[in-house]
Amino acid sequence: MDTTNGAFTCGLDAALVVLGGKWKPLILFHLAHGTRRYGELRRAIGHVSDKVLIQQLKELQADGIIDRLDYGEIPPKVEYSLTAFGRTLGKALAPLCEWGTKYSSNVEAIIERRKVAEGPHAAWKR
Amino acid sequence: MDTTNGAFTCGLDAALVVLGGKWKPLILFHLAHGTRRYGELRRAIGHVSDKVLIQQLKELQADGIIDRLDYGEIPPKVEYSLTAFGRTLGKALAPLCEWGTKYSSNVEAIIERRKVAEGPHAAWKR
DNA sequence: GTTGGCACTTACCAAAAAGTGCATACTGGA
DNA sequence: TCCAGTATGCACTTTTTGGTAAGTGCCAAC
């Protein structure tokens, strides 16, 4: 784990360039489980607006993390999938998913504590 | 890797509750390398404002991820370190750091491509 | 006719987040 | 005197982000 790396202060800084976006990690997670159509992805992620989901899908595509396959049909049929590059990132995200699963009740307690505090970050947010 | 988990759509969603914040992942990264004084942390992270760094340190402390030890001296001496809980998260972040290190030149290319595009996300950002 | 499915686009804007500038107090050096 | 070091608070400003609402066009079902 190198701490100096070109323009980045560390590898994590570089990863965050690609992953930074409210919904990008979850997009990656779901696509790591297989190709998805837009609507499937939308429903799996939950409370995200069309506008923002599409925006972040476009960014991920432009960055070479995901592929978009348009079948050119009506009604529209479009599929999203991870590129080979995106799959390397998906793999690197897996331990974080496992951590979240393992400590989900701790995290729920944190959320409750935030609500009670009604402080600088009261609501559930990321 | 479970995909349904209480209020979270997946473990990653839970992790992002704790990690969500522009500077939180990097704070974690640096503290995973050892206890740091405020100024050390500030300089290591780079271009972050005092106000926001302190704010996010406070949040991480409130969430039980980091500890703050005030020596009560003048000039002030304060140290930040990961809790045991925080160390589990730091460990889960390590693969992402490694990914970033491995693919840092790809990421640099992405940044350049974004600049050229002058599009929806032109500048280097996370 | 309306409504729903599919996958987007655009204009507008409110809220959230990050940042700036100034300040605190002590010590030492130029 | 000013500046630097240490770590943080507060008021205000700026930037960024996410969202809402309305819309596109085709087809099928009610």
pLDDT in tens, B18-32: 999 999 999 999 999
**Residue A63: Cβ-neighbour burial (10 angstroms; 0-12, 13-18, 19+):** buried
ipTM surpassing 0.85: yes
Distance CA(B56)–CA(B76), nearest Å, equals: 19
pLDDT of residue B10: 86
pLDDT of residue A48: 92
Distance CA(B126)–CA(B124), nearest Å, equals: 7
Asked if residue B45 belongs to a domain, the reply is yes
Domain housing B105: 21-117
Asked if residue B39 belongs to a domain, the reply is yes
Asked if residue B125 belongs to a domain, the reply is no
Asked if residue B32 belongs to a domain, the reply is yes
pLDDT of residue A73: 85
Q: Read off φ and ψ for residue A15, nearest 5 degrees.
A: -60, -40
Number of domains in chain B: 1
Q: How many CB atoms lie within 10 A of CB A125?
A: 12
Q: What is the CATH number of the domain that holds B52?
A: 1.10.10.10
Asked if residue B6 belongs to a domain, the reply is no
Q: What's the one-letter identity of residue B38? A: Y
| Chain B residue with the nearest C-alpha to that of A52 | B120
For residues B39 and B58, is the Cβ–Cβ distance under 8 A?
no
Window from A25-29, B52-56, B70-74, B122-126 with minimum mean pLDDT: B122-126
Size of interface A-B (CB pairs under 8 A): 202
Q: What's the one-letter identity of residue B55? A: Q
Q: Read off φ and ψ for residue B21, nearest 5 degrees.
A: 160, 135
Give the best residue of B101, B106, B112, B125 to mutate against chain A (max A CB count within 10 A).
B101
Q: Chain D positions under 7 Å from a protein CB?
A: 5-11, 16-22, 25-27
| Chain A residue with the nearest C-alpha to that of B95 | A92
- Give me the mean pLDDT over the A16-45 stretch: 94
Q: Which residues contact B72 (CB under 8 A, 6 or more apart)?
A: none
pLDDT digits (tens, 9 = 90+) for A52-105: 999 999 999 999 999 999 998 888 999 999 999 999 999 999 999 999 999 999
pLDDT of residue A2: 37
Shortest distance between the Cα of A40 and any Cα of chain B, in A, equals: 14
CA of A71 to C1' of C2 (A): 29
Query: How high is the mean pLDDT of chain B?
Result: 88
Which nucleotide across the nucleic acid strands is nearest to A78, CA versus C1'? Answer: C7
What is the torsional sign of CA B35, A9, A3, A125? Answer: positive
With b meaning 16 or more CB within 10 Å and e meaning fewer, what string describes B62-97? Answer: bbbbbbeeeeeeeeeebbbebbebbebbbebbbbbb
pLDDT of residue A126: 63
Asked if residue B71 belongs to a domain, the reply is yes
CA of B111 to C1' of D6 (A): 36
Which pairs with CB-CB distance under 8 Å and at least 24 residues apart come from B107-113? B107/A8, B107/A14, B107/A15, B107/A17, B107/A18, B108/A6, B108/A7, B108/A14, B110/A17, B110/A18, B110/A63, B110/A64, B111/A7, B111/A17, B113/A62, B113/A63
pLDDT of residue B101: 95
pTM, 2 dp: 0.89
Pick from A56, A13, A116, A90: nearest CA to B97 = A13
For residue B7, pLDDT beyond 60: yes
